[in-house]
């Protein structure tokens, strides 16, 4: 299976708005997102580890006001944008589910071969 092109690398800036997308894994469809932190693109399932709600309010704003941590807009759980690990709040040590992505030729690709991109 071929890696799936998500977006242009330039669409995802350090500490900025996330690029949201939907994936299907088996019968389940989920929202996911790509962010950039310290120059590196990372992707996660858009679901707080504390309670299964999306981190943002459907606007792609995942970072706290400092641009250093991902934060759940509903309950305030905070996560390390490098690996999705819990760094504070009600996530109680549970982190985000990360997705494998890579960058090549100015694009970010999803490298999860057991998932399918859902066209909207």
pLDDT at residue 1, rounded to an integer: 54
Query: What average pLDDT does this structure show over 26-32?
Result: 91
d(CA 62, CA 83): 14
Contact between 19 and 9 under an 8 Å Cβ cutoff? The reply is no
The Cα–Cα gap between 7 and 54 comes to 20
* Residue-wise pLDDT tens digits, 41-57: 999 999 999 888 999 98
- In this model, does residue 120 exceed pLDDT 70? no
């Amino acid at each position: 299976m071929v890696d799936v092109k998500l977006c242009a690398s330039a669409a995802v800036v350090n500490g900025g708005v996330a690029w949201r997308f939907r994936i299907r894994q088996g019968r389940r469809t989920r929202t996911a997102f790509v962010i950039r932190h310290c120059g590196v693109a990372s992707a996660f399932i858009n679901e707080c580890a504390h309670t299964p709600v999306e981190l943002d309010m459907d606007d792609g704003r995942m970072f706290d006001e400092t641009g250093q941590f991902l934060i759940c807009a509903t309950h305030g759980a905070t996560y390390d944008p490098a690996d999705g690990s819990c760094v504070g709040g009600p996530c109680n040590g549970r982190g985000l589910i990360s997705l494998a992505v890579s960058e090549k030729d100015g694009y970010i690709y999803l490298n999860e071969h057991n998932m399918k991109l859902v066209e909207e």
